[in-house]
Chains A and B, each alone.
Chain A
Amino acid sequence: MPQRRVVTLVPRLALVALVVVAAVPTAVSVRHGGWLPDGGFLLLQAMLTVAGLLLWWGDGLRGNALRLLLAGVCLGVSNVDSGWAPADAGSLLQLEWTLQWSAVPLVATVLLAYPEDHVRGRGRRVLVALFWVWAVGFRVVSSLLWDPVASGVEDPVRWFHVVSARAASLVVEQASGALLAVLVVWFVVVQVARARRARGAGRPAVVLVALAGTLLAVGQLLRVGLGYVPWTGLSRVPVTEAAAEWVSGVQAISGAIAGGALVAVVVRAATHRGEIVERLLAVGGDAAAAEAVLQDALADPTLRLRVLVGSGWVAVDGHRSGPPGADRTVQVLLRGDDGHPVVEVDAADHVLLDPALLRLTLAAGAVVVQNARLTLEREAHLAEVGASRTRIVEAGVAQRRQLERDLHDGAQQSLLAVSATLSRAALATDTDGMRAVVDQARAGLSAALAEVRGLAHGIHPAALRQGGLASALGTLAAGSPDVKLHLGPGLAGGRRFPTAVESTAYFVVAESVANAVRHASGRVRVSADAGPQALTVAVCDAGRGGALVRPGGGLAGLEDRVRALGGVLVVDSPPGDGTTVSALLPCGEAAP
């Protein structure tokens, strides 16, 4: 895809150009100046550039990356006059003069923000703003009041100034020196406080950054205080040439160390992320292991995963999970391919300290956790299937036991009584007596037949077998004056469904009607209809409601039977407001 290559090539070329532009003045200045100060400077510049490039491509912290790269450029610019700019370069020198300290607020911003991309907190933002005031504001004022002639600029026409007030300009310079001292102390205090407060995975980075920041700040203060302010001629403290060289050297070395620390921080972050991804990928489908890796990676032992399995959230051990704890301030939803939330990560708020780490960890975690979720879902599904299969088998056993009992208590006793009666007939001595006994036996047989018929109907109603669901529901409704039946057009013409579907739908209605008649007075509304894919039945009463699907209860038995056919049973029974039991059963092709 050449289009994409162009898109990524342009910013890369731009970055390389920036680096070259920044490095050239320093390199030239090294040739003119000494190795110790300017070599240290070049090192710092190189470190800032490397750290910036790493941030740009690695963390995706583009703000910080740009700031560091620009700071490198500014450092290069600040070397223009000490290096190769001719004395008559006027406006160029003025630009250099104005921008030479811009690297300081840029680097300060990064040091105050990292590992985040933006400076957080009002105090720190004010600090950054004051750094800019110091670095650019004071210089602009000072340069506009500057007297280039007195300073030895050979072509004063090119130096833009409002009024030549050399003394005022120097006062501004000195005031800027005092402000810097204040800002440096403030900055160091803020960095120390940050390092002390930092928790979790972001802590090592914050501590290292605070260390680098303190080094750079003190170095900058030395450079300005002992090297630059005396040059303005307003300092009371005499600074020898050797001391100035020494200070410059110390600052260069501390700058190089600080730059190295920054690069180390960024490299460490990249390695750490690589490790995390590796460990997460090794987890496979184990949700508990994924949680452990995330806890470790984000340095939050209280981190919990909640996984959406079926219609509820479960913990990684597969148990239902309650609401997340009150102290969990960070809740991140990981979404599945369809955009629906599938996993929730509950963590302590310090994980936000390193957003790049959090983002990458969660992105890698999402893939793994989705896998784990499928495992959990499969396990839950298997457990549910196993449980419902057991319940169906148990319900079958219970039904057979009831059937045996009904046979034993009903038809069998009636037939045995007929047998006893017929024995008496054999003992009868006169015709009338025998006739009377035989009549009794006949009546007993009728009763026994009725019992057997009733039992058979309870097992599988004949109307269902012969006339289908509509006919069987009609028979059911006809037997009970309170039941009002509404058959939808989908059941017209005696449409037939698979036997199991018809039977289950019928028993949902029959048992719900029996419950309604038992628990509610007044009308019971039965409705049934079918579309091409599904058959629906509903039984609605105006009773006292409050019906629940209890394990082992009649409704649970119905639910199992409905779900065994891939259907859904819904019990809507608000207390005091009637009960509606409805079932939706996939019906597919009609039975032949």
Chain B
Amino acid sequence: MTVEEATGPVRVVICDDSGIFREGLGLLLDTLGVAVEASVADVLSLLAAVRSLRPDVAVVDVRMPPTHTDEGIRAAVTLRHEVPGTGVLVLSTYVDPRWAVMLLDAVPDHVGYLLKDRVADAAALLEAVHRVAAGGLVLDPEVVAALVAGRRLSAPLRRLTLRETEVLAALAEGWSNTGIAHRMHLSVKTVETHIAAVFRALDRGSAEDGNRRVLAALRYLGAGDAPGHGPSPGPSAIRKPG
């Protein structure tokens, strides 16, 4: 891992109002070789810790006091704007694609949205932390699956083969071509062909790259559900605290 090689272990700050989970996650990350610099229970402490410690990644719970709704999402957006060097990995108890899409809409890089269940998969968790630290976008596969499943397939999407749809989902999760090839046991060449087909179907140039193509894929998947795009019963915007 390039970041680790260059600067030593990835440094994180954990923020979760559940003490028992905070402790379990901290110990796990520690075991995984991640340096847990601070472990706090609320958003204000998180902002203070991040400003003073400048960690590589802040791992933030979504539902926290006082309203137990979207504190973590709002803190993530604030942090990304205030402390550009720190990535944010949001951990959520529930699969809620709208929060994820909203977060990735507001913050284009150094950000991730992962289910807390991923603590059971230490490798995936570590991978996500590293990718966010390196500036990438991470979206939990279940969230992407929910996006794909929850969306009534539009005409261009219906034209995609099953394989191409899987590639689109992997794109949305933030995987690189190589990563997708590895996961799907395909050659990089084949993956590139699929990606080209997907973007043709979406009427986009295949020149899209990196985070921008993730966002393009995401936006496409999440457009119907994302805030501000029609009558959505979900959260309408990232609200200010208070």
Residues of A within 8 A of B (CB): 405, 408-409, 412-414, 416-424, 426-427, 444, 447
Alpha-carbon gap, A405 to B93, bound state (A):
11
Q: Is the beta-carbon distance between A423 and B116 smaller than 8 angstroms?
A: no
Q: Are B122 and A416 in contact (CB-based, < 8 A)?
A: no
CA distance A3 to B37 in the complex (A): 109
Q: Is the interface of A mostly helix, strand, loop or mixed?
A: helix
Residues in B neighbouring A420, C-beta threshold 8 A: 21, 24-25, 27-28, 119-120
Known: A409-B17, A412-B93, A424-B31. A417 touches B23 (CB 8 A): yes
Question: Contacts A405-B68, A427-B122 hold; do A417 and B24 have CB atoms under 8 A apart?
Answer: yes
B residues touching A (Cβ–Cβ < 8 Å)? 16-18, 20-21, 23-25, 27-28, 31-32, 63, 68, 93, 116-117, 119-122, 125
- Alpha-carbon distance between A423 and B16 when the two chains are bound, in angstroms: 19
Q: For residue A412, which residues in chain B have a CB less than 8 angstroms away from its CB? A: 93
CA distance A519 to B68 in the complex (A): 27
Cα distance, A423 to B93, chains bound together (Å): 17
A418 and B25 CA atoms in complex are apart in Å by 10
20 sampled A-B residue pairs with Cβ under 8 A: A408-B93, A409-B18, A412-B93, A413-B20, A414-B18, A416-B24, A416-B117, A417-B25, A419-B119, A419-B120, A420-B24, A420-B119, A420-B120, A421-B24, A422-B120, A423-B28, A424-B122, A427-B31, A427-B32, A444-B20
Q: Which residues of the partner chain A approach B122 to less than 8 Å between Cβ atoms?
A: 423-424, 426-427
- Interface contact A424-B20, CB-CB below 8 Å: no
Q: How far, in angstroms, from A129 to B125 measured CA to CA in the complex?
A: 114
Which of B16, B17, B27, B68 is the one whose CB lies under 8 Å from A424? B27
Contact between B63 and A421 (Cβ–Cβ < 8 Å)?
no
Contacts of A447 in B (CB 8 A): 20
Q: Other than the known A422-B120, A424-B31, what 9 A-B pairs have Cβ atoms closer than 8 Å? A: A413-B16, A413-B20, A413-B93, A416-B21, A417-B21, A420-B21, A423-B28, A444-B20, A444-B24
The complex places the Cα of A422 from the Cα of B31 at a distance, in Å, of 12
Given known A-B contacts A408-B93, A412-B93, A424-B28, A419 and B117 have beta carbons under 8 A apart: yes
Whether B21 lies near A413 (C-beta < 8 A) is yes
Minimum CB–CB distance for A420 against chain B, Å = 4
Closest Cβ of chain A: how far from B12's Cβ, in Å? Answer: 14
The residue in chain A whose Cβ has the minimal distance to the Cβ of B61 is A413
A481 to chain B, nearest CB (A): 29
- The distance from the CB of A364 to the nearest CB of chain B, in whole angstroms, is 58
Query: Which residues in A have their C-beta under 8 angstroms from that of B32?
Result: 427
Residue among A419, A422, A447 with max Cβ neighbours from chain B (10 Å): A419
Contact of B119 (CB < 8 Å), options: A405, A409, A414, A423: A423
With most chain A CB atoms within 10 A of its CB, the pick from B24, B116, B120 is: B24
Residues of B within 8 A of A409 (CB): 17-18, 68
